[in-house]
Amino acid sequence: MTRCWTGLLLLALAGCGSAPPSLEYYLLDNTGAAQALPVNANRTAVSLLPLLLPDYLRQDGLVMQVAPHKLHVSRRHLWAQSLASSLSMALLRDVNGSDSQYVLRNLAEPGTAEAPYQLKVQILHLLIDQQSNIQLEARYWLLDSNESKTLRTGAVQSSLPLEEDGYGHAVAKMREAVAILSRDIQAQLSTLETSGQGL
C-alpha cells in the first residue's frame, strides 16, 4: 500500500515539471550598424520632443494584426527597450547620419532646450498587418522654438512586405520603415535650409 502512494506522488511530481517559456527580446535600432556622426560645429540644433505613441505600443510585446480591428500582442517576443526610446534613437541616428545643416538632439541632452527648432513626432501605427506587411503611419511637425510657430508639417505612411517568417525579420522591416520616416524629415529640414529659414 505504501508503495502505491509513493508511486502516485512521483507521478504527480513528474507532471509538475515543465519547460520555462522561451522569451525573445528584440532591439529596433541595430547597434551593429552604428557609424560615427560627422562633426560639424556649425550645425543648427533641432530638439526632438518626446514621441507620441498609441496606447497599444506602450507595452513590451510586439503587435500583430490578426483580424480587422483585432490585434495580437506577443507574450514571448518582446521589445528589449521601450519603443519610445528605440524610435528616438533610430530617428537621431538616421537624421544625424547625413551631412545636413541641422543636427537632431534628444531633449535630455544638455543645451538642447535652447535649440531654435523643435521636432515633434506622433506615431499613429507601427505593427504587422494581416497581409504580412509592416505598416508605419506617422506625422511630424517642425516648430520654431521662439515663436511657437509651426514651420513645416509632414506625414508618412509606409507599407513594407515581409519577405521572411518570424518576428526578427519583422523588426528589421520596422527599422526600414523608420528610416523612410527619417528621410522624409531630412527632406523637410533641407527645405528649411534652402528657404533660408535656418540660422
Partner 1 sequence: MRNDNEPLQARVEPVSSWSKVWLVPMVALGIGIWMVYLELSQQGPMITIEFQSAEGLEAGKTRIKTRDVDVGTVKEIKLAPGSEGVLVTARMSQEAESLLTEDASFWVVSPKVSLSGVSGLSTLLSGAYIELSPGSSGQTATQFRGLDDPPLTPAGAPGLHLTLSSGEEFAFSEGDPIIYKGLTVGKFENVYFNYAERMVYYNAFIHAPYHLLITRNTRFWNASGIKLDLGAEGISMHTGTLQTLLTNGVTFGVPDHLPAGDMITERSFFHIYPNAEKASAPHREFSQDYLVLMEDSVKGLQVGAPVEHRGLVIGEVLAVNMPMQDMPAFLDRSYHIPVLLALYPGEMGLKDSTEGREQLTTQMDNWISQGLRATLSMGNLLTGKQFVDLQYHPRLAPEQLVSLSDYRVIPTIPGDFSQLTQKLTALLDKFNDLPLEQLSTDTGQMMNSANNTMEGLQTTLSKLNSLLTDVEDKQLINQLTHTLAGLEGLSADYASDSTGYGELRQMMRRFEQTMLQLQPLLQQLNQNPNRLIFGGAVKEREPQAKGNSND
Among 9, 50, 166, 176, binds partner 1 (CB under 8 A): 166
Q: What is the largest CA-CA distance in the chain?
A: 94
Question: What track of x and - describes contact with partner 1 for positions 45 through 64 (by CB under 8 A)?
Answer: ---------------x---x
Virtual CA dihedral for 189, 194, 196, 199, nearest 10 degrees? 50
Question: How many whole angstroms separate alpha carbon 165 and alpha carbon 183?
Answer: 27
Start-to-end Cα distance in the chain: 91
Instruction: Give the residue, chosen from 125, 139, 169, 183, that forms a contact with partner 1 under the rule CB under 8 A.
Output: 169
- Measured CA to CA, the distance from residue 38 to residue 47 in angstroms comes to 18
Residue 18 binds partner 1, judged by CB under 8 A: yes
**At closest approach, how far in Å is the CB of 151 from partner 1?**
33
Cα(93)–Cα(96) distance, integer angstroms: 5
Cα gap 83→57, rounded to integer Å: 7
Contacts of 24 (CB under 8 A, 6+ apart): 76, 77, 78, 167, 168
The one among 1, 3, 5, 17 contacting partner 1 by CB under 8 A = 17
132 lies in the binding site for partner 1 (CB under 8 A): yes
Among 1, 2, 15, 196, binds partner 1 (CB under 8 A): 15
Cβ proximity to partner 1: between 1 and 14 the closer is: 14
| Nearest CB to partner 1, comparing residues 139 and 169 | 169
- Contact between 126 and partner 1 per CB under 8 A: no
Residue type, 64: M
Could you tell me the smallest distance in angstroms from the CB atom of residue 42 to partner 1? Answer: 30
Q: Summarize as ranges the residues that interact with partner 1 (CB under 8 A).
A: 15-19, 21, 23, 60, 64, 66, 72, 74-78, 128, 130-133, 161-167, 169-170
